[in-house]
């Protein structure tokens, strides 16, 4: 139960508490998703601005 600083409201959390292991797993999933998407964005920016990389990717049969 949390009491606000004005002591007028009382918030009751009816959800079960997550264990530290569950929070770690959820955080790891979110962090890995963010890391992989930023890597893909950086790769795509490099693909757009570097003609050598552009021709290398296309020579491998990968079309972005």
pTM for this entry: 0.47
Q: If pLDDT is split at 50, 70 and 90, which confidence band does 1 have?
A: very low
Residue ranges of domains in the chain: 18-64
User: How many angstroms separate the CA atoms of 45 and 37, rounded?
Assistant: 12
Which pLDDT belongs to residue 28? Answer: 93
Which pLDDT belongs to residue 61? Answer: 79
Phi first, then psi: what are they for 11, rounded to 5°? -105, 125
Question: Residues 5-62: pLDDT tens digits?
Answer: 666 666 666 667 778 888 889 899 999 999 999 998 888 887 778 888 878 878 887 7
User: How many angstroms separate the CA atoms of 57 and 5, rounded?
Assistant: 58
């Amino acid at each position: 139960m949390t009491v606000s600083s004005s002591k007028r409201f009382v918030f009751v959390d009816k959800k079960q508490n997550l264990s530290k292991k569950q929070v770690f797993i959820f955080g790891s999933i979110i962090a890995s998703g963010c890391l992989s998407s930023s890597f893909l964005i950086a790769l795509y920016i490099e693909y757009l601005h570097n003609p050598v990389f552009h021709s290398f990717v296309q020579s491998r049969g990968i079309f972005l």
